[in-house]
Copies of this chain bind each other. A is one copy, B any other.
């Protein structure tokens, strides 16, 4: 499959490398076509890896992962371009974290909006699915790093898109199931959870953890 990964950080490169290892054609997108991290990633990752600016990457992908930092996510997607995003599945992994006061981060909005919703509003044709944003990058692509059963969450307006993403994340990364929280407004919940994740990280003293919903 042809997949765009927007973002050159730990999340973007972890997802992009995993997808390459599965035999996909991955284009990593960055603000500039000359981005050195993206170029270095593409060199290391081998023949099926490419890189370019956000617009080139979004055009190349049949689906698009948004792995940019929350503060720059909307600008990155604007640079990717509505014409390139079209009605593609847009897997939004970003979180609206404000690090301007240092650690711990706060949210850009106090739970009455979400980055997932803002992205869906800005690109109404795109089929935004918010997921993977509640775990560290290494666990995203390898849930077995955390022992036993634990949960992935999903928010989005398009039920078919959520179902397709759930199947892809199962086949690619090994996520046995995902809890469908509902439409994209439920991203408010999973994005707010990330503030709790930071505190749990401090208590567990590891990033390799997750939660399981028990009922």
Which chain A residues have a beta carbon within 8 Å of chain B's beta carbons? 98, 101, 104-112, 146-150, 155, 179-182, 185-186, 188-190, 192-193, 195-200, 202-204, 206, 208-215
Q: Are the C-beta atoms of B110 and A215 separated by less than 8 Å?
A: no
Q: Are the C-beta atoms of A209 and B213 separated by less than 8 Å?
A: yes
Q: Are the C-beta atoms of A203 and B181 separated by less than 8 Å?
A: yes
A112 surroundings in chain B (CB, below 8 A) = 98, 101, 106
At the interface, is chain A mostly helix, strand, loop or mixed? mixed
- A sample of 16 inter-chain contacts (CB < 8 A) reads A98-B112, A107-B192, A108-B110, A110-B110, A147-B215, A150-B214, A179-B200, A181-B200, A181-B202, A189-B195, A189-B196, A189-B197, A192-B193, A192-B196, A204-B213, A211-B214
Q: Are the C-beta atoms of A192 and B190 separated by less than 8 Å?
A: no
A62 vs chain B, min Cβ distance (A):
28
A182 to B189 alpha-carbon distance, docked (Å): 23
Q: Chain B: which residue is nearest A148 at the CB level? A: B214
A210 surroundings in chain B (CB, below 8 A) = 213-215
